[in-house]
């Protein structure tokens, strides 16, 4: 299985920083958290993470709070680049036996490391700490247990939601859409076209696998079939999804952005009023609320047959090769249970509360009362699905990107493109 890990991680290096369906196209790239000199008389725990910018500052602050809370353990947080860069470095470190004690892992990558037996089963640690998997938010636990081992716990997690310029909708007397049909109606009603040129589009979404996967799930399809041998949307859900998107693209109801920097492009179009709605991560709420000049609201992703949403972001894992497992677990336990740990990090960053106690805390309820837009993503977790779970996902993801490009940019035949994708996926899954 270790050979499989090497092959898959090698494939991830081709992604050039793009990891879709994981953080909404948001890879953290700025430095956040630096190494410090190892203190005398303390057990040092190395923690690798992928958070830069403001979120890097927030995770570094959490690490500092832990270090100040006791005098036996010193956690050293080190930024390793984007999610996929961290995966590549971790694979190399495991092979060289120089890996960290604790690592952040984008949730879709947990399975391939679990499959290689390099992640510690945290079940015994959980029990000795008086904790249970029932303590955690159910919709965020889909990438935690593999081969009957609890190998990761949620940390910085997000989900896509619908972001709405409510002022724009109110001007037209339109309600926030709850279904695909309503989305089509509202998006078309928002289009402004002058002299054959679109001045305003209905809605948009970043170039990403996240959003088509969400829609396939809403049409009652699955990304992989239950056997893990093929795609799970052979009932026409994939064709339906892309036909819907292409129809709206043709009328200006949907603006599909260029692949490069698509997330920022879509965000800027939303804040400047060039689109009325967008599918985007819950992680952009903080920056949007500070920059919009209109009544801004969030809502569930519209449903087709059912409500459904994928999740994204990263989990935290204890490495099997760690020589400081007890100390490493103490840091993880503190992040999961101490109000100054994960709760404060979630309040600071805007990621989803990942334990039930966090969601029920006075601080979280106060924040949600003040900023109801942030509660939508948590409530939507009742419809969370994990449809891209497979050890070969990083390779299959690249093929899905090719299919999206062919359909959305090159206007290739939808049925033929998805059939080619299906065959290539089956070839990869046989490896």
Report DSSP letters for 258-305, one per residue: PSTTHHHHHHHHHHTTSEEEEEEEGGGHHHHHTT--S-EEEEPPPBSS
Task: Specify whether the CB–CB gap between 108 and 210 falls below 8 A.
Answer: no
Task: Specify whether the CB–CB gap between 312 and 107 falls below 8 A.
Answer: yes
Taking only the tens place, the pLDDT of each residue in 134-157 is: 999 989 999 999 999 999 999 999
**pTM, entire model:** 0.85
Q: What percentage of residues in the chain have a pLDDT greater than 70?
A: 91
What residues does each domain of the chain span?
2-158+312-360, 160-309+388-429
366: phi then psi, degrees, rounded to nearest 5: -65, -40
At residue 21, the pLDDT reads: 40
Task: Write the class of the CATH domain 160-309+388-429.
Answer: alpha beta
Average pLDDT (32-41) is 48
Taking only the tens place, the pLDDT of each residue in 154-207 is: 999 999 999 999 999 999 999 999 999 999 999 999 999 999 899 999 999 999
Q: What percentage of residues in the chain have a pLDDT greater than 90?
A: 82
At residue 13, the pLDDT reads: 44
At residue 40, the pLDDT reads: 58
Radius of gyration of the chain (CA): 22
Strand order in the sheet with 153-158: 73-79, 43-49, 102-106, 312-318, 153-158
At residue 387, the pLDDT reads: 77
DSSP E strand stretches across 300-375? 312-318
Taking only the tens place, the pLDDT of each residue in 268-296 is: 999 999 999 999 999 888 888 888 999 99
Burial of 430 (0-12, 13-18, 19+ CB in 10 A): exposed
With 70 as the cut, is the pLDDT of residue 404 above it?
yes
Taking only the tens place, the pLDDT of each residue in 342-389 is: 999 999 988 999 999 999 999 999 999 999 999 999 999 999 998 788
Taking only the tens place, the pLDDT of each residue in 213-272 is: 999 999 999 999 999 999 999 889 999 999 999 999 999 999 999 999 999 999 999 999
> Which DSSP helix (H) or strand (E) runs through 39?
none
Task: Write the class of the CATH domain 2-158+312-360.
Answer: alpha beta
**Sign (positive/negative) of CA torsion 400, 277, 82, 117?**
negative
With 60 as the cut, is the pLDDT of residue 27 above it?
no
Strands 275-281 and 197-204: parallel
241: phi then psi, degrees, rounded to nearest 5: -60, -50
**Angle, alpha carbons 94-97-102 (nearest 5°):** 60
With 80 as the cut, is the pLDDT of residue 395 above it?
yes
Q: Fold identical between 2-158+312-360 and 160-309+388-429?
A: yes
């Amino acid at each position: 299985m270790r050979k499989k890990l090497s092959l898959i991680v090698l494939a991830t290096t081709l992604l050039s920083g793009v990891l879709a369906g994981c953080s909404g196209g948001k890879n953290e790239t700025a430095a956040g958290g630096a190494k410090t000199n190892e203190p005398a008389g303390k057990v040092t725990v190395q923690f690798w993470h992928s958070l830069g910018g403001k979120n890097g500052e927030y995770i570094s602050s959490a690490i500092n709070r832990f270090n100040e809370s006791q005098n036996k353990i010193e956690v050293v947080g080190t930024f390793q680049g984007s999610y996929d860069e961290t995966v590549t470095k971790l694979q190399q470190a495991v092979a060289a036996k120089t890996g960290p004690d604790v690592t952040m892992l984008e949730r879709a990558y947990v399975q391939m490391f679990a499959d290689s037996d390099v992640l510690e089963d945290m079940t015994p640690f959980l029990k000795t700490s008086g904790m249970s998997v029932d303590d955690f938010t159910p919709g965020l636990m889909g990438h935690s247990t593999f081969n009957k081992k609890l190998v990761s716990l949620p940390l910085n997690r997000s989900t896509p939601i619908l972001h709405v310029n409510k002022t724009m909708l109110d001007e037209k007397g339109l309600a926030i859409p709850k279904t695909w049909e309503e989305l089509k109606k509202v998006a078309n009603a928002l289009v402004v076209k002058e002299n054959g040129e679109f001045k305003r589009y209905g809605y948009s979404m970043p170039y990403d696998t996240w959003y088509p996967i969400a829609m396939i799930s809403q049409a009652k399809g699955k990304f992989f079939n239950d056997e893990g041998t093929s795609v799970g949307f052979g009932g026409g859900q994939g064709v339906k999804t892309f036909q819907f998107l292409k129809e709206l693209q043709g009328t200006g109801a949907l603006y599909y952005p260029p692949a490069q920097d698509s997330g920022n492009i879509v965000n800027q179009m939303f804040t400047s009023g060039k689109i009325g709605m967008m599918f985007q991560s819950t992680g952009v709420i903080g920056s949007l609320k500070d920059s919009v000049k209109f009544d801004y609201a969030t809502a569930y992703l519209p449903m087709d047959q059912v409500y459904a949403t994928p999740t994204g972001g990263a989990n935290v894992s204890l490495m099997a090769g760690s020589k400081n497992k007890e100390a490493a677990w103490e840091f993880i336990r503190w992040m999961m249970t101490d109000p100054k740990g994960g709760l404060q990090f979630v309040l600071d960053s805007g990621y989803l509360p990942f334990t039930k106690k966090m969601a029920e805390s006075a601080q979280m309820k106060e924040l949600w009362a003040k900023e109801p837009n942030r509660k939508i993503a948590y409530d939507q977790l009742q419809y969370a699905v994990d449809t891209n779970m497979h050890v070969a996902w990083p390779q299959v993801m690249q093929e899905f990107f090719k299919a999206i490009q062919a359909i959305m940019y090159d206007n290739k035949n939808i049925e033929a493109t998805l059939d080619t994708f299906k065959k290539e996926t089956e070839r990869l899954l046989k490896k």
